[in-house]
A and B are shown apart, each in its own frame.
Chain A
Amino acid sequence: MSAPIQLRPDETFLLNVGPQHPATHGVLRVKMQMDGEYIVKAETVLGYVHRMHEKMGENRTYAQYLPNLSRLDYLGALGYTHGHVLAIERAAGIEVPERAEYIRAITVELNRVASHLFWFGAFVMDLGGFSPLMYAIQDREHILDMLEAVTGARLTYCYYRFGGLYNDVDDDFIEAAKRFIPRMRKSLKKYDALVSGNIIFQKRLEGIAPVSAEMCRKYGATGPVARGSGINFDVRKNEPYSVYPEFDFDVPVYHECDSLARYKVRMDEMEQSLRIIEQGLETLPDGPIMAEKKPKNIKLPVGDYYQAVETARGSFGIRIVSDGDKNAYRLKLRSPTYSNMHLFDEACEGMLIMDALAFMGSLDLVIPEIDR
């Protein structure tokens, strides 16, 4: 535990963490006013990888905008594409075949496991342990191989289409996914013993960086960050979409509010995702993967549409304002890490720099998704 200390604001220095720093995992810059190793004030500076994705959405047709969604969050790309296609389908009134929705749910959950695995490795590396990253990447590699065989890409999938999927899954994929589940469960046990049970690891995270539920609400934090603070909110349960109501899964919630709680939420979520995949594979219906009645060029009726989905990092929302043209009048992406990150400035005041960077790791920041 960090002892309460008397900070002396008159004897401080400015530490520039980033834009290139091993702990920021991307080009995030944090200006830290430091008193020795204690942070007096921190300010996150954004904009180093801003690519105007929202503006691009206004200039491209809806179909042309599809590949952009994979470039927001390169670790859990499918979830973001899912939000986009769901929004368009609802607005344009396209019926999606059941099989397509099942495959979407299965692949999104696989992608969520892959994303959490990479976060797990990178987080432990932030704490100085390097080997778990390699183990996590090994498991993630199996998922990427499966997804590559289906979608044709390893990270920027661009797999979903309005009304269905780009192509169907084959028996190989189903076999591989069925083999993967028990292997992943074994790995999760290994991670539990190697990392979660480790005394050094626990002492580093327990009670560190408390983020209250109130603070989460203030900044709009969602996903594992909010669930680690005792907020039972998961878009899959609270605003059900796709075929999620048909699956039996739990939403892990921890009330400790510390970095360890956020860690545990993600580790439990992996297990829940495996459960969803398992059920999805068992009940996968036959049928077409593409809607029969689908306009060639999609034009949304005039209106304002919003769709939220639960991605690996939290609630991702896409808002489309249409004036009836073939591209959006205004497109707004509500990315979860953008809100989650802004906790950092307030929460890390008075914290040691090493705890603050561990805290940053526990927020699971993906910078291209913050900057969009």
Chain B
Amino acid sequence: MGGYFSDIFYGSKSLLIGMGITFREFFKPTVTVQYPYQTLKMSARFRGHIELIADKEGKPKCVVCGMCERACPSGCITLGSISIEIEVDGKIKKKKVLSKYDLDFTKCSLCGQCVENCNFGALEFSKEYNLASTRKEDFHFNLLKRLEERNT
């Protein structure tokens, strides 16, 4: 019988303690960010999709070695190159130049293996996270074109 009443007593007490906690929380300020109206600054190391880095002339630093393509676990990078002839010290040399850098973002898992495997520092992560579309094609990024758009 004593257990019966003490059960009721301690039970009610625990309920009141709980209500006290939610009562105090009620008067504390809100902690949420009102997303479309307020945004957070992405941290410096945030791994978005990749972007090409331009050299001083605005051309991509990429030398088309294909390390990123091979490192990618999902096979979402496709490279293309053309050979052009340039004059270095009076001699005509053949050089491979990047003509296509396609990122299939639908397959990308944002692991960052491509950036890590790049020996020429030609890739970086973008800070973009507002990636939404109703069409699949919108996620096939042409990184060369994006680089040109950024340059202008």
Report how far A166 CA is from B109 CA in the complex, Å: 16
For B73, give the chain A residue with the smallest CB separation: A64
Q: How many positions in chain A have a CB within 8 Å of any CB in the partner chain?
A: 30
Binary interface encoding of chain A residues 281-313 relative to chain B, with 1 for a CB under 8 A from any of its CBs, else 0: 000000000000000000000000000000000
Report how far A193 CA is from B21 CA in the complex, Å: 8
Of the residues B10, B31, B73, contact of A65 by C-beta under 8 Å: B73
In the complex, whether A194 has a CB less than 8 A from a CB of chain B is yes
Report how far A135 CA is from B28 CA in the complex, Å: 12
- B17: which A residues are within 8 A, CB to CB? 193-194, 197
- Smallest beta-carbon distance A125→chain B, Å: 15
Q: Is the interface of A mostly helix, strand, loop or mixed?
A: helix
- Smallest beta-carbon distance A369→chain B, Å: 17
Asked if A190 and B21 sit within 8 Å, CB to CB, the answer is: yes
Report how far A193 CA is from B18 CA in the complex, Å: 6
In the complex, whether A151 has a CB less than 8 A from a CB of chain B is yes
Asked if A60 and B73 sit within 8 Å, CB to CB, the answer is: yes
**CB neighbors of B among A147-163 (8 A):** 148-153, 156, 158
- Smallest beta-carbon distance B95→chain A, Å: 26
- Smallest beta-carbon distance A371→chain B, Å: 18
Report how far A99 CA is from B7 CA in the complex, Å: 52
Asked if B110 and A153 sit within 8 Å, CB to CB, the answer is: yes
In the complex, whether B133 has a CB less than 8 A from a CB of chain A is no
**CB neighbors of A among B89-139 (8 A):** 109-113, 116, 125
Report how far A5 CA is from B44 CA in the complex, Å: 61
| B: interface residue count bin | 20 to 34
- Smallest beta-carbon distance A268→chain B, Å: 20
Report how far A71 CA is from B110 CA in the complex, Å: 12
In the complex, whether A131 has a CB less than 8 A from a CB of chain B is yes
For A167, give the chain B residue with the smallest CB separation: B45
Asked if A148 and B46 sit within 8 Å, CB to CB, the answer is: yes
With A63-B113, A190-B21: A151-B73 Cβ-Cβ less than 8 Å: no
Asked if A194 and B21 sit within 8 Å, CB to CB, the answer is: yes
Report how far A199 CA is from B22 CA in the complex, Å: 16
In the complex, whether B43 has a CB less than 8 A from a CB of chain A is yes
With A197-B14, A198-B18: A64-B113 Cβ-Cβ less than 8 Å: yes
- Smallest beta-carbon distance B40→chain A, Å: 9
Chain B residues engaging chain A, CB cutoff 8 angstroms: 7, 10-12, 14-15, 17-18, 21-22, 25, 31, 43-47, 71-73, 109-113, 116, 125
List the 9 closest pairs (A to B, CB-CB), nearest first: A199-B11, A67-B111, A64-B73, A152-B47, A152-B45, A149-B43, A197-B14, A194-B21, A158-B111
- Between A and B, 13 residue pairs with Cβ closer than 8 Å are A66-B73, A66-B111, A66-B113, A67-B73, A149-B43, A152-B43, A152-B46, A152-B125, A158-B111, A158-B112, A166-B112, A197-B14, A197-B17
